[in-house]
Structure 1
Amino acid sequence: MVVDDNEMNRLTLEHYVGMTAGLTLAGTFADGVACLNYFRKGGKADILLLDINMPELTGLDLVRILPEPLPDVVLVTSHRDYAVDAFELRVTDYLVKPLDYARFSRTVDRIRSQRAALAAASPTGGAEAMFDADGSSLFLKINNRLMRVNFDEVLYIEAMSMYSVLVTLKHKHIVYATLKTFEERLPFAHFVRVHRSYMVNTQLIEAVEDNQLQLPGGHEVPVAKAYQDSFFKRLRGI
């Protein structure tokens, strides 16, 4: 999906998509509002190539209000000083104008590699999630076999487009369910949303430093600015 209010930039990105094997253009928009309406109506895209400076709704504001599941977001900008905002929103990458196909191609390869590595590391590879009646247990349906997940061992849950990744010390389980589904279904008070893309098991937090949660096995999860007040209030009550 390409979103940019500059026609030349849109045409350039559309051309790059057409040049790249395995990519198909899902749509193109000249403003963030039209893109938001597309996703609110159920539209899908795996990668969102998104200009930042647009009238009415900036690219950064669009990412903040996009409905889940989020695509891989690649910011397209004339400026290099959006590192903090990119961290807060957990965008995948950003392209600096003037656009260059070699840099665009590296971004696509990076996204593909990340997805392939995650799929290879997961013993479940996109399993169907099956919650019991009260949501206290989760079974992953793998072929004709049901595997129970012990939530006491889950360090954190990470959003990945239409999937979620349940991370334990030993495994990463890719599950066909959005992070919002887990947030609504899990009855455990110690699983807390700390970022647009993360829920964390507060019982397993080893330390908090510079708004980074340190977990066993060297795992780290960021606490986004929008979630800091509610998270630290919850942490003090545990």
Structure 2
Amino acid sequence: MPATTTTLTCVIVDDNEINRLTLEHLVDLTPELTLVASLPGGVEALHYFRQGGKCDLLLLDVEMPNLTGLELAKMLPAPAPAVVLVTTHRSFAVAAFELQVTDYLVKPVEFGRFSQAIARVLAARPAPAPPKAPKPLAAADLFVKVGTRTIKVDFNEVLYIEALSTYSVLVTASHKHIVYLTLKNLAERLPFDNFLRVHRSYIVNMQRIEAVEDYMLKLGPYEVPVGKSYQEEFLRNLQSL
């Protein structure tokens, strides 16, 4: 199986149209790059980033009117992209080093040297974090009284618990068990930290939530609302899953 190619989004900033077109062509020749913007000056670039524009790599001309590339590099909002400076003068190398840019290209830029700069950008990127393994479901058996019987319920299979007058209903994907305890009493007896009260009438199994939309929780074939007074705590617990 071939290795997956890492793709970087790229923004070009240069006040010279011919230079921009040259860089656009070099980007087009580089499969690891995807151009998302090509801008004619530092002021336009600053506006782009302050309006929420993002990229992985900034190909930045140094000498531009109104706002130079060096000035722009110091003003980039965090997290800043990798920066490769492009200029006609080697004298900016010291300033580039002080700004900790990834590389420094001298015009006219040749494709071979351009490719080296891109390789340096890729090498400097942190390795992607391995995907989080899903938390294993702990043993969650509990004996509860259902009708005239006391049965063992696997609470890993319980989607939610609903208040029903002075009783509670344990709801799984295929069964509903009426338990002779109020929702409050049952909540106090549950030893499982993955259950959370999200409404005065509902306790949900946080590990069985499939989707959240407008504070409606999708659990198997059912939907459960999150009460307004419970929403803040619900969001905190959702983020910690």
Scaled by the length of structure 2, the TM-score of the pair is 0.49
Higher relative contact order (CA closer than 8 Å, sequence separation 6+):
1
Structure with bigger helix share is 1
Mark the structure with the bigger radius of gyration.
2
Scaled by the length of structure 1, the TM-score of the pair is 0.50
